[in-house]
Chain A
Amino acid sequence: DQQVKQNSPSLSVQEGRISILNCDYTNSMFDYFLWYKKYPAEGPTFLISISSIKDKNEDGRFTVFLNKSAKHLSLHIVPSQPGDSAVYFCAAVGSSNTGKLIFGQGTTLQVKP
């Protein structure tokens, strides 16, 4: 049973437009959520995170929204740039599960010039 799901395997957007990547989770014990970005032949790179006490966290072009009642989070990238093309993973962890990040399957984002 997959506790963190990214239902869209791929997303294509035009440069300058908004990219919205979605993630759903099932475990209500998760209280910290992270987004990672991965280029080919590299390890994932931490992008942005959000604690369950917040519903929004913003860092430059990247904003993560958390809807706890819907067990849903999303990553918004505005404006999208070709260099944002990568695989994006969401991950979740509960404070009682020390270090145990649960990852989604990833969404491949392609930003077209």
Chain B
Amino acid sequence: ETGVTQTPRHLVMGMTNKKSLKCEQHLGHNAMYWYKQSAKKPLELMFVYSLEERVENNSVPSRFSPECPNSSHLFLHLHTLQPEDSALYLCASSQDAYNEQFFGPGTRLTVL
């Protein structure tokens, strides 16, 4: 499979659940990103990883915890989320942290 893939595509969870979102890129890129898109709002950058090191943490609450075990995989661990965290979570990758970013299809998250 090519490009940027994300699993699951849809996720419904309760506020006490723990879940993880997975992103995988098959493009040989060195930088990966998590974005949040809420209804009628611009895409919001959450985290940036470059060469597996976190280089940006955009004031994201600690109930979101990213993990980048290697340059091809990125996870977003979720715990004790709030209903207002319901949104589309998009993963992206780029050759370096200043090139065009290629996005995955997103995970539609609903927190009950």
A residues contacting B by CB (< 8 A) are 2, 4, 32, 34, 36, 41-46, 49, 89, 91, 93, 95, 98-106
Contacts and interface: CB of A to CB of B under 8 A. Distances in A.
Grouping DSSP codes into helix (H, G, I), strand (E, B) and loop, the B interface class, with mixed when no group exceeds half, is: strand
Closest 10 pairs (CB-CB, A-B) = A43-B103, A99-B97, A103-B43, A99-B48, A98-B97, A103-B42, A46-B100, A44-B103, A105-B42, A43-B105
Nearest to A48: B100
Interface in B30-50: 31, 33, 40-43, 45, 48, 50
Interface of B: 4, 6, 31, 33, 40-43, 45, 48, 50, 55-56, 58, 90-92, 94, 97-98, 100-106
Contacts of B48: 98-100
Q: Which of A42, A93, A99, A102 has the most CB of B within 10 A?
A: A99
